[in-house]
Structure 1
Amino acid sequence: MSTVEQGRIARRFAALRAEGRAGLVTFITAGDPDHDTCAALLKGLPAAGADLIELGMPFSDPMADGPAIQASDLRALKAGARVSRTLELVRAFRAAEADTPVILMGYYNPIYAYGVERFLADAGAAGVDGLIVVDLPPEEDAELCLPALKAGISFVRLATPTTDDARLPAVLRNTSGFVYYVAIAGITGTASADAVAVAGAVERLKRHTDLPVAVGFGIKTPDQAAGIARVADAAVVGSAIVSRIAANLDADGTARPGLVDDVLGFVRELSAGVRGARG
């Protein structure tokens, strides 16, 4: 069995299956609104109910993301975020939390600039479990996907409403950890996910893969997260959490004193919805 197949992601989804429930995947942007506040949020997410954590790698041109995450990227970059500091956040998180999977999500440019071999070595040493790199299609697997798998880091691929049965085998060929189903056609944080449509999509995906299916984009409330948790293996919430961070900033972008508690309180509400979804 490979390192990927027996790693934290696989163990977490096995535990969720044993509990008979779906998981909650939370997304925050590394360094948003500043390094220390982000570190406090990251540290508090598991106790607030996050089963897996996606940590966004800030980038100046996040073409798949809507206004909320775009703004979070700009805040983080303004505060000095970069790949090395993102990995610092993961290392600090791992010092206190050994079990919760961390998946870095972003775009290839910062990784390429950092150096693929160096990045994978440093990410593995920091405790990163998986990567989601939205602008690398299967045709470019040799760039990062295959080296990541060799390094024991899962490569999570996106499937969308427009990914038909002819395309799915290529999308799934080297995917590991889980499949991320994009519930809406468009960018993050815009339309709301439709649980009925998602149920059909998840059923179709599961005819092609034994991997867990996590569903994201367009999940904004505990009720919506619960609706997805009834039909998928995990619900992913990103823009709604990032927007909650933004709502707790002063006019100059400085974190207000209650930011961490308020955001983690929202995550607890999302977790309650997910955990209660199947009765």
Structure 2
Amino acid sequence: MGATRIDRRFEKTRAENRPAFVSFTMAGDPDEATADAILAGLPRAGADVIELGMPFSDPMADGVAIQLAGQRALKAGMTLDKVLAMVARFRRTDDETPIVLMGYYNPIYIYGVEAFLAAAVEAGVDGLIVVDLPAEEDAELCKPALAAGINFIRLITPTTDDARLATVLENSSGFVYYVSMTGITGAEIKNRAAVGDAVNRIQSHTRLPVAVGFGIKSAEDAAAIGRDADGVVVGSALVSEIARSRDGGQSVAETAEAVHRLVHSLSQGARSARN
């Protein structure tokens, strides 16, 4: 596989001596029009890489905030075809910002792996994070994705020892996603120093960038994690802002602006990490 948008983006942030800011929102949350407006403005707000959730009815790794985001999206009629259409619309005006689809294997399996990968490439998808496919199942989706030119990004957790790390990294590409704690999304990081130690350990085993997610809620968190990590991932805080705005009855434009303001604040925290 040649250099991808993800590779180029991390090369850029490394050259600027800063971590990449990676945003996560759920496709179709709270509705398609608002999700489109949010997605379109994320790069300008400070997102270097965009993770876009594929809503699924039975998530296993998501905390309450992201579960509710998925439910809102499904209730509004979001489907995997519509997720890909969102990416295609985004690509009409932005051909540089990487988009990674994150979710579970079941919707892709139902769609059909070959058909899904062809549609994802056509739409402009750069990477996949599929949280319930272990490395032992690489032939199922990982290897076909790599052959299609789509990065396959693995999750590494605090319980991943060195022996397991080698297995997980074997077919990983794009970047490595370090889950900063055991448990589900949305929890608090209890030991930032331990996260830095874990990132350093992973970096000693791979040349891939290491992005850290789970538990990053403030600009201060982003700055602290970004001192060691190659990327800082924020999701629950952003989808919680969508929920708060929606409950307040704000318009599409107001909700998108609220999310973009938060992304700007968090991304500026990440940018200050090594100053």
For the superposition of Structure 1 and Structure 2, which TM-score range results when normalised by the shorter chain? over 0.9
- Give runs of aligned pairs for residues 256-275 of structure 1, distance below 5 A: 258-275=254-271
Q: 2:146 aligns with which of 149, 158, 168?
A: 149
2:36 is the alignment partner of 1:35? no
Q: Indicate the SS of the match to 2:92.
A: helix
Higher alpha-carbon deviation: 187-196 or 144-153: 187-196
Higher alpha-carbon deviation: 183-192 or 101-110: 183-192
- Give runs of aligned pairs for residues 90-109 of structure 1, distance below 5 A: 90-109=87-106
Q: 1:186 aligns with which of 169, 183, 186?
A: 183
- TM-score, L = length of structure 1: 0.96
Letter in 1 for 2:92: A
Question: What is the aligned-residue RMSD (CA, Å)?
Answer: 1.2
Q: 1:73 aligns with which of 70, 73, 87?
A: 70
Task: Return the alpha-carbon distance in structure 1 between the equivalents of residues 190 and 151 of structure 2.
Answer: 26
Letter in 2 for 1:113: I
**Aligned 8 A contact 2:34 2:252 in 1:** no
| Paired position in structure 2 for 1:177 | 174
- Give runs of aligned pairs for residues 5-154 of structure 1, distance below 5 A: 6-154=3-151
Q: 1:241 aligns with which of 229, 238, 242?
A: 238
| Paired position in structure 2 for 1:276 | 272
TM-superposed deviation, 1:191? 2.2
Unaligned runs of 5+ in 2: none
Q: Indicate the SS of the match to 2:247.
A: coil
TM-superposed deviation, 1:201? 0.2
Higher alpha-carbon deviation: 12-21 or 193-202: 193-202
Q: Deviations over 1:12-47 (max 9, x none)?
A: 000111111111000000000000100000000000
- TM-score, L = length of structure 2: 0.98
Letter in 2 for 1:268: H
**Aligned 8 A contact 1:44 1:264 in 2:** yes
Task: Return the alpha-carbon distance in structure 1 between the equivalents of residues 166 and 178 of structure 2.
Answer: 14
Letter in 1 for 2:35: C
2:213 is the alignment partner of 1:213? no
Q: Deviations over 1:29-71 (max 9, x none)?
A: 0000000100000000000000000000000011000000000
Task: Return the alpha-carbon distance in structure 1 between the equivalents of residues 75 and 187 of structure 2.
Answer: 24
**Aligned 8 A contact 1:183 1:193 in 2:** no
Unaligned runs of 5+ in 1: none
Letter in 2 for 1:245: I
Task: Return the alpha-carbon distance in structure 1 between the equivalents of residues 161 and 143 of structure 2.
Answer: 24
TM-superposed deviation, 1:256? 6.0
Letter in 1 for 2:272: G
Q: Indicate the SS of the match to 2:212.
A: strand
Letter in 1 for 2:94: E
Q: 2:223 aligns with which of 221, 226, 231?
A: 226
Q: 2:164 aligns with which of 146, 150, 167?
A: 167
Letter in 2 for 1:109: N
**Aligned 8 A contact 1:193 1:219 in 2:** no
Task: Return the alpha-carbon distance in structure 2 between the equivalents of residues 181 and 151 of structure 1.
Answer: 25
Indicate the percent of aligned positions where both proteins have the same amino acid. 60
Q: Deviations over 1:112-151 (max 9, x none)?
A: 0011000000000100000000000000000000000000
Task: Return the alpha-carbon distance in structure 2 between the equivalents of residues 28 and 250 of structure 1.
Answer: 17
**Aligned 8 A contact 1:51 1:100 in 2:** yes
Task: Return the alpha-carbon distance in structure 2 between the equivalents of residues 255 and 196 of structure 1.
Answer: 41
| Paired position in structure 2 for 1:250 | 247
